[in-house]
Amino acid sequence: MDVVVIGAGPAGLIAALRAAELGARTVLVTRGAVGGMAANDGPIPVRTLAQAARLLRESRQLGRFGITVSEPILDYPRLLARTCEVVHEVCEHSTRREHLENLGVTIHEQSGTARFVDPHTVETESGLRLQADKIILCAGGTSRRLSIPGFEWTATHSDAWGLPAVPPSMLVVGAGATGVQVASVFQTFGSRVQLFQAGPRILPTEDEDVSAAVAAAFRESGMVVRENFGTIESFEKMPSGVRIVFSKDGVRDTAEAVLVVVAVGWVADTAGLNLSAAGVETDPRGYVRVDTYLQTSAPNVFAAGDITGRLMLVPQAIHDGFVAATNSVQGLTTPLWDQVSPVGSFTEPEYAQVGLTEAKAREKHDVVVAVIRFDETARTIIDGRTTGFCKLIADRATGTILGCHVVGERAVEIVQVVAIAIAAGLRVDNMAKVPLSFPTYAGILGRAAYRAAQQIYPEFSGRMY
Ligand SMILES: Cc1cc2nc3c(=O)[nH]c(=O)nc-3n(C[C@H](O)[C@H](O)[C@H](O)COP(=O)(O)OP(=O)(O)OC[C@H]3O[C@@H](n4cnc5c(N)ncnc54)[C@H](O)[C@@H]3O)c2cc1C
């Protein structure tokens, strides 16, 4: 065999496709189902639950539009069944498997954990023994566990999706992308949610204004948001749930909920791989160490996706899979290239970003910042979705767009437009001249661009918006 790919998430699927397209005899082997975490336990199920939360919220608006219905009731087991249907439908409609099979890729699903025997040989729990010139590791990641007494009483985001009913109360530890999505969805479903963040603000990698606006909206919805909560000492099993014991400045405190979900990071899923047998090194954070060609410390082994610990998102995993497979088959020809990476989450309110935060932009640029509030635009008022803002950041010297941060309805979709603008090297004055449709959510970008351009270019001094 020329290439064995381990793991069939987005990175592995694309790596196998690319290797086969380049003529390599390719085997794809994965522990569970094809699709990986992305299809089975991450974005697709999360988005389905977030859609249910959105429908619940929207149904509560019906009265404002003169539509009378009775109070909606969530049938959680039915929703979980729908989530499984969606996962199944997405997999069925994906053309990837057919494409792989047409290219002659051998797929081994449900093979259990694969492990290295030597740099060219892997064995699986199901008894397969595979040998190849090149091996591409696409084994993804897993929730970080904490070495804290009683940690076994806590749950992960995956456990939360599997519950038979919505828990009356939930405590979420960790307010990164996964933690805030779990907290937001279950808050809408009726749990009393407490969100605990050790650092000074939730969503620490977002623009500070985004963290503040999302925290304010969460609190407004009744969620308890505790930033800077201190250090966890232990978790304890209680008759009606789990208690977290924590301390701050020498003062001990506790909080309790029926379910405690810990979402404090994502680590490489290397435990079962026996990397040392292949001479594959990890970095100090435990991710597989790769160079810009995604080659590991073992020359015949490449790695792609979450296992490398860079930006852990589906588009990046796909990019990695392509690059790793190209280099493993053709030699070291294709380094990773810079990408504009929009990021966002389907919380209530949604938030999203692309490019630099305002603080990061100010470190290296003289910037102009334009902020348009959601309650200033027609479409958000029409839809009754006036919470939020759009912040556009541009370089004063060149007019190029450095970043965009949006909180509010369709934030994730809005920043896609800016991602294209940044990738195309568009200046704010160019963007301001694009007549975006009215009344739309993306239309807010025209106004933000116009306000930014006014601060840079004299010809924009008139007041169009
Ligand atoms: C709750 C949640 C929500 C998310 N939402 C988004 C989102 O909205 N948008 C977005 O872009 N990203 C999102 N992500 C991140 C995204 O899912 C990951 O970045 C992406 O799945 C990474 O792809 P991958 O191919 O590297 O790994 P994975 O998708 O994790 O696939 C790896 C596969 O390898 C298998 N495997 C592991 N070890 C072995 C082994 N030793 N032998 C055989 N098989 C093995 C695993 O079982 C798995 O099937 C989310 C993640 C989570 C947890």
Instruction: Find out whether 289 and 307 touch, Cβ atoms under 8 Å.
Output: no
Cβ neighbours of residue 377 closer than 8 Å, sequence gap 6 or more: 439, 443, 444, 447
pLDDT in tens, 220-277: 999 999 999 999 999 999 999 999 999 999 999 999 999 999 999 999 999 999 999 9
Q: Are strands 343-345 and 351-355 parallel, antiparallel or unpaired?
A: antiparallel
Instruction: Find out whether 168 and 191 touch, Cβ atoms under 8 Å.
Output: yes
- pLDDT band at 462; cut points 50, 70, 90: low
Q: How far apart are CA 241 and CA 256, in angstroms?
A: 7
- pLDDT band at 38; cut points 50, 70, 90: confident
Atom number, ligand 1, closest to the C-alpha of residue 313: 19
Q: What is the pLDDT of residue 162?
A: 80
Probe ligand 1: pick from 184, 313, 351, max atoms within 8 Å of CB?
Answer: 313
- pLDDT band at 94; cut points 50, 70, 90: confident
- pLDDT band at 370; cut points 50, 70, 90: very high
Gap from CA of 229 to ligand 1 centroid (Å): 30
Atom number, ligand 1, closest to the C-alpha of residue 7: 34
Q: What are the pocket residues of ligand 1 if the criterion is a CB atom closer than 6 Å to any ligand atom?
A: 6-12, 29-32, 36-38, 42-43, 46, 113-114, 138-141, 157, 178, 269, 272-273, 305-307, 312-315, 317
pLDDT in tens, 54-73: 999 999 999 999 999 998 99
Probe ligand 1: pick from 144, 186, 314, max atoms within 8 Å of CB?
Answer: 314
Q: What is the pLDDT of residue 463?
A: 57
Entry pTM: 0.94
Q: What is the pLDDT of residue 464?
A: 63
Instruction: Find out whether 91 and 34 touch, Cβ atoms under 8 Å.
Output: yes
Helix, strand, coil abundance in the chain, percent, nearest 5: 35, 25, 40
Atom number, ligand 1, closest to the C-alpha of residue 157: 1
Peptide bond into 458 cis (omega under 30): no
- Rounded to 10 degrees, the C-alpha dihedral 297/303/308/310 comes to 120
Gap from CA of 12 to ligand 1 centroid (Å): 10
